[in-house]
Amino acid sequence: MELSHSLLPYVIANCAVVIASLVQTSTGMGFAMIAAPLLALVSLEFVPGPMLFVNLFLSLFMLGDGRSHIVRREIVTLCPTILIGTLIGAAILTGVPGDSLAILFASLVLLAVAISLFAKAQPLTTRNLSICGVAAGAMGSTSGIPGAPLVIMYQNEPLEKTRPTMALVFTFTYITSLVALAYAGAFNFRLAMDGLMLLPGLLIGFAIGRWARQYMTQAMGRILMLSIASTGAILLLIKSSVG
């Protein structure tokens, strides 16, 4: 179902994007896990395509901060495996009925929260990074949430390294996911315009997030991300069940 011409859904959606971009700008992760369930509550039209599209801008903005801290070895391992996972995820998404999408998104968000809560940090070996890349690509194209596997790998890494490295990884992930979604018929010009309508919220959140970096710790960002994401996912499941 297409979004109505009313501005109210876009206003509410922008408020969700402000929170999500604030957390990601200050910690390096969290946008998709927060935004996906909240945007899906407003309208399934916002996920995953428009959300991925607007988040691409945030990743590009963040690339300008701390480029010297990017670890190229990790990027070289992650990007090819993310591409493989993206193709797998796009194939899965094309087989999901439209009336089951809300349940799929909510379930994947709760899975991402559980992974982030209970999985222990893993060493950044080539094998672990490759597995992480495939999982991130698959989750990125099916739900717009590539961050959960990456949270496992990078939860104990310094924020100075995490922010720019993840910005580059997410940029690649979002571009490949959008191409795969477009090929699968799940992303088009109209949905790109819906994504651009979320840009004001993203810019506000980005500005606040840059200021909040001096106060935000990894622990604070993690609590915000997981609590908001899980609450939104549960509400989405309830809404889908009632519907």
List CB contacts of 218: < 8 A, sequence separation 6 or more: 27, 155, 159
Query: For the chain, how far is it from start to end, CA to CA, in angstroms?
Result: 14
What's the pLDDT tens digit per position in 66-109? 677 788 889 999 999 999 999 998 888 777 776 677 788 788 88
Give whichever of 6-15, 62-71, 101-110, 136-145 has the largest mean pLDDT.
6-15
CA gap 35, 105 in Å, rounded? 11
Hey, is 119 helix, strand or coil?
A: coil
Helices marked H in 119-217 — which ranges? 126-143, 147-154, 159-183, 189-196, 199-212
**Residue in 177, 86, 85, 163 with CA at minimum distance from that of residue 131:** 85
What's the pLDDT tens digit per position in 144-201? 888 778 877 887 788 778 888 888 998 999 999 999 889 888 899 999 999 999 999 9
